Amino acid sequence: MIEIKNLHVNVEDKEILKGINLSIKPGELHAIMGRNGSGKSTLSNVISGRDGYTVTKGSITWEGENLLKMDPEDRACAGIFMSFQYPVVIPGVNNMYFLKTALNAQRKARGDEELDSMDFLALIKTKVNEVKLEESFLHRAVNEGFSGGEKKRNEILQMITLEPKLAILDETDSGLDIDALKIVAEGVNNYRSPHRGFLVITHYQRILNYLAADQIHVMIDGKIVKSGGKDLASKLEAEGYAWLEKPIAAD
């Protein structure tokens, strides 16, 4: 469903992504691991359409269309979702109202009927239970005063409410306790389907113990240098990234 080809991206004239190739098919779960600063969030931001990135070469195709030409809201309506590495606080905007506005914007764009308040309330109550957040979080401003783990669960709440076709989880597992990690993993596993793809960015093998990844990719300095199965995650956890880097001139 998404096809990334030879993607080069600059931030303020500095090349961050240096030729990414990645293809995710419906039903697949891909994971990306890689050092801090290697370009993982840059990739997810470019996929979701954030400002400030210049694509200098390459392409992203979404269900046969040029994704890079679409506005961020249109990408969301087309089924792309990113769980933010750093979810943003939106003062004064009620979390439930935000979710309802987002869901109805997407439904409208797809030609579905918008949900009224009653129907939405019924829906959101079941969803909020699934991520084990108290209902009071719905009545607070978006992410305001949420703890790190609560913010991540709120991202998953949005994911399972909006039911995207492709969900990108940018370090959603970072900073979570064991129980919260399981909630996130369940969120993903319950929503896996033959029609939905996942891209999970992580630093840790532990979340991959819960998720059956089809492929694991290693990103170094803006490139995917290696792809493989579950064993790759174990090896990275044990040995780090050094063995994947270009050998320094032999002594």
Partner 1 sequence: MSKQNIHQNVVDHYSGEFTRLYSAENGELSARRQAALAEFQSLGLPTAKQEDWRNLDLAPLSAAYEVALPSAELDYFDDLDFKYLPRTPRLVFVNGHFTAELSDLSLLPEGVTVNSQTYLLNTNPDQVNLEQPTGGSDNPFELLNRALFNSGASVEIAPDQPEPVNLQLIFITKPGAEQQTYQIRNLVRIGANSRLNLIEQYIGITDHIYFNNVVTDVHVAENGSFNCIKIQGEAPQGVQLSTTTIDQQANSTSRSLAVSLDGRLIRNNLKLNLLGEGAHGELNGLYLGRGEHLVDNHTLIDHAVPNCTSAEMYKGILDDKARAIFNGKIVVRPDAQKTDANQINRNLLLSDKARVHTNPQLEIYADDVKCSHGSTTGELNPDALFYLQSRGISATAAQALMINGFANEVLDTISDEASHELLSNLVDDWFNAREENN
Ligand X SMILES: Nc1ncnc2c1ncn2[C@@H]1O[C@H](COP(=O)(O)OP(=O)(O)OP(=O)(O)O)[C@@H](O)[C@H]1O
Q: Report the DSSP pairing between strands 90-94 and 54-62.
A: unpaired
- In 3D, which of 53, 49, 48, 47 has the Cα closest to residue 13? 53
The distance of closest approach from Cβ of residue 225 to ligand X in the complex, given in angstroms and rounded to an integer, is 13
The angle subtended at Cα 209 by Cα 214 and Cα 188, nearest 5°, is 65
The distance of closest approach from Cβ of residue 67 to ligand X in the complex, given in angstroms and rounded to an integer, is 18
Structure tokens at 24: 């995710």
The entry of partner 1, Mg ion, ligand X, none near residue 101 (CB within 5 to 8 angstroms by kind) is partner 1
C-alpha 83, offset from chain centre: 4
Nearest residue by C-beta to Mg ion?
41
Q: Which of residues 75-114 bind Mg ion (CB under 5 A)?
A: 85
Q: Which residues contact 147 (CB under 8 A, 6 or more apart)?
A: none
Q: For residues 81 and 233, what is the distance between their CA atoms, to the nearest angstrom?
A: 24
- Beta-bridge partner residues of 66: 61
**Binding flag, residue 161, ligand X (CB under 6 A):** no
* 25 φ/ψ angles, rounded to the nearest 5 degrees: -100, 155
User: Among residues 10 and 189, whose Cβ is nearest to Mg ion?
Assistant: 10
The entry of partner 1, ligand X, Mg ion, none near residue 175 (CB within 5 to 8 angstroms by kind) is none
The entry of partner 1, Mg ion, ligand X, none near residue 39 (CB within 5 to 8 angstroms by kind) is ligand X
**Binding flag, residue 136, ligand X (CB under 6 A):** no
**Binding flag, residue 12, ligand X (CB under 6 A):** yes
Distances (CA, A) of 110 to 168, 186, 225: 21, 27, 38
Q: Which of residues 75-134 bind ligand X (CB under 6 A)?
A: 85
Among 24, 30, 38, 199, the residue binding ligand X under the rule CB under 6 A is 38
**Binding flag, residue 41, Mg ion (CB under 5 A):** yes
What residues line the site for Mg ion (CB under 5 A)?
40-41, 85
Q: Under the rule (CB under 6 A), what is the footprint of ligand X? A: 11-12, 16, 34, 36-42, 52, 85
